[in-house]
Amino acid sequence: MFPGGQPLAKEEVRGTRRALELGGAILCPVLGCSAPPYPDADVVRHVAEEAAVSRYLEGRRLLPIAKEVARVFEQAQTTLRAMQDALEGRLHARRGESESDACLHLRAGRA
């Protein structure tokens, strides 16, 4: 069972587990276990090394920032690709070339 205490189908459990793991949650290591994530207080209580606890808590604190940076970076990459495509189109129009003829070297580095 996960959020709301409702049982989930196996595929939902896998997807939910992965989402929780990527969110920094620590889950039961037994495959197929549908127990909810361990609360941070439990993790801190059972980790003996204070430096490890500090790194864990710092990672949890920084995770939302890292996710936002990744989102903004991906958005910027999408915008830059669109701008490059538009500029290539203008270049081809000015030269009277078709896109299939011109600037193949510009596209070679992009998938």
- Per the CB < 8 A criterion, the answer to whether 103 and 91 are in contact is yes
For the cut 70, the answer to whether the pLDDT of residue 3 exceeds it is no
**What phi, psi does 50 have (nearest 5°)?**
-65, -35
- Per the CB < 8 A criterion, the answer to whether 57 and 44 are in contact is yes
Which residue's entry shows tokens 């790194």? 55
Chain Cα centroid distance, residue 41? 25
State the pLDDT confidence band at 77, using cuts at 50, 70 and 90: very high
pLDDT (tens digit per residue) in 13-65: 556 777 888 788 888 888 888 888 988 888 888 887 888 888 888 888 888 88
